[in-house]
Amino acid sequence: MRTVPDSETPAADGKRGPARERPTMKEVAALAGVSLKTVSRVVNEVPTVDPALVTKVRAAMDRLGFRPNLAASNLRRGDGRTHTVGLLVEDVGNPFSAAVHRAVEDFAAQREVLVLSSSLDEDPERERRMVRALVDRRVDGLIIVPASSDHRYLVAEQEAGTAVVFVDRLPTPLVGDAVVTDNREASAQGVRHLISAGHRRIAYLGDTESLPTARDRYAGYRDAIREAAARGCVADPGLVVQGLRTVEAADAAVSELLSGPDAPTALFTSQNLVTIGAVQALHRTGSQHRVAVVGFDDIPMAQVLDPGVTVLAQQASEIGRLAAQLLFARMAGDTAPARAHVVPSRLIQRGSGEIPAA
């Protein structure tokens, strides 16, 4: 296809292969006129090498474009550290995952460690496949937002020396450190916020009940409602809609709730897509200044909307940072018993949650 350039330098390799191979220490040694081992010493910055030789070797390395093969190095070295960790999230494209990703990356990068990431799309089978792929590459550690519901298969990996930390959901059984949001308590806090603004008919709009986090958030809602029963808060099943997974579904659910006879005066939404759908429905029906909303999860543009959207913001960066910190501690040999770490969410008041009851 591409004829051999008969001009200058790499003319001799008349092979049609797309590229010559990477130079090895052997070639560097030959060019520099030293032994292979000396090159190794230069690469590893052993201080006892003759400075003149160091210069010669460095020059040879630059000329050949030599870069050490980390894999071969790890293989030979005792510790077998690849300086790479794995990160399995729901979807690297979604804001929560991306924020966690960034925080993990920052923590790792400071330690010269790179991150191999992958999306699971809530597929348990994919979780196992990706764990295998990462283990095959001998990552030093693994941060997982679980998609599966049985993590015993990871015990073997941990025993084999791969540290594992879970994020956002607890592993079952608890086979490793976990970093989670205070779903139940934060939800209760959000609902109490609405109650303190005078609301008594507060709707709950939630995700699929099969998700543990969704269950916890619903539990928090009920906690707060129950606490305020004496003050007239009603636990009306007609105010609870679950199984919402899209903006459209949430929009429709809110529209229906508001047009009904005993409409709620406030909404608590359990998740960002649901919040967006609810806000959209309120704006479309012109009731955004009349019906209060508090959402779980921050949403983009929340402060630009009118009114601003009051939310319980998960601290995704802090969650990622803490997960990385725990992971690196394990990798460094920490053998303390595994435990769950709870990162509190923050209530951000922007207006929609402070609308008083009529």
3-class SS at 97?
helix
Cα distances from 27 to residues 10, 31, 45, 134, 340, in angstroms, run 15, 6, 19, 32, 51
4 in contact with a copy of itself (CB under 8 A):
no
55 in contact with DNA (CB under 7 A):
no
- Strands, sheet with 240-241, edge to edge from the N-terminal-most edge strand: 240-241, 202-205, 266-269, 292-296, 310-313, 346-348
92 in contact with a copy of itself (CB under 8 A):
yes
219 in contact with a copy of itself (CB under 8 A):
no
Residue (19 or 336) nearer to DNA, CB? 19
162 in contact with DNA (CB under 7 A):
no
11 in contact with a copy of itself (CB under 8 A):
no
24 in contact with DNA (CB under 7 A):
yes
18 in contact with a copy of itself (CB under 8 A):
yes
Quick one: which segment of 28-36, 170-178, 190-198, 280-288 binds DNA (CB under 7 A)?
A: 28-36
Encode burial over 247-286: b for 16+ CB neighbours within 10 A, e otherwise: bebbbebbbebbeeeeebbbbbbbbbbbbbbbbbbbeeee
Query: Of DNA, a copy of itself, none, which one sits near residue 38, judging by CB under 5 to 8 A according to partner kind?
Result: DNA
List the one residue from 30, 36, 263, 347 that touches DNA (CB under 7 A). 36
Query: Of DNA, a copy of itself, none, which one sits near residue 279, judging by CB under 5 to 8 A according to partner kind?
Result: a copy of itself
| Closest to 141 (Cα-Cα) out of 122, 154, 124, 125 | 154
Write the DSSP string, 276-292: HHHHHHHHHHT-TTTSE
Check if the beta carbon of residue 219 is closer than 8 Å to that of residue 249. no
- In the block, tokens 């693994």 appear at 142
Residue (27 or 91) nearer to DNA, CB? 27
303 in contact with DNA (CB under 7 A):
no
65 in contact with DNA (CB under 7 A):
no
State which of positions 267-296 bind a copy of itself (CB under 8 A).
276, 279-280, 283
| Closest to 2 (Cα-Cα) out of 14, 175, 12 | 14
Element (H, E) at 274: helix 272-285
68 in contact with a copy of itself (CB under 8 A):
yes
d(Cα 190, Cα 218) in Å, to the nearest integer? Answer: 12
Residue (39 or 293) nearer to DNA, CB? 39
143 in contact with a copy of itself (CB under 8 A):
no
340 in contact with a copy of itself (CB under 8 A):
no
- Min dist CB 79 to DNA, Å, is 9
Residue 346: burial class (beta carbons within 10 Å; 0-12, 13-18, 19+): middle
Query: Of DNA, a copy of itself, none, which one sits near residue 2, judging by CB under 5 to 8 A according to partner kind?
Result: a copy of itself
| Closest to 87 (Cα-Cα) out of 141, 128, 125 | 141
Check if the beta carbon of residue 120 is closer than 8 Å to that of residue 147. yes
Please work out, in degrees rounded to the nearest 5, the angle formed at the alpha carbon of residue 289 by the alpha carbons of 190 and 214. Answer: 30
State which of positions 21-40 bind a copy of itself (CB under 8 A).
21-23
- Min dist CB 113 to DNA, Å, is 17
Cα distances from 9 to residues 4, 6, 31, 181, 292, in angstroms, run 11, 9, 16, 59, 73
List the one residue from 73, 280, 315, 325 that touches DNA (CB under 7 A). 73
Check if the beta carbon of residue 151 is closer than 8 Å to that of residue 171. yes
List the one residue from 26, 63, 152, 245 that touches DNA (CB under 7 A). 26
Other CB atoms within 10 Å distance of the CB of residue 106: 14
- Give contact residues for DNA (rule: CB under 7 A): 21-22, 24-26, 34-38, 40-41, 43-44, 48-50, 53, 68-69, 72-73, 75-78
- Give contact residues for a copy of itself (rule: CB under 8 A): 1-2, 10, 18-23, 65, 67-72, 74-75, 80, 82, 84, 91-95, 97-99, 101-102, 105, 109, 112, 114-119, 132-138, 156-161, 276, 279-280, 283, 299-301, 303-306, 333, 335
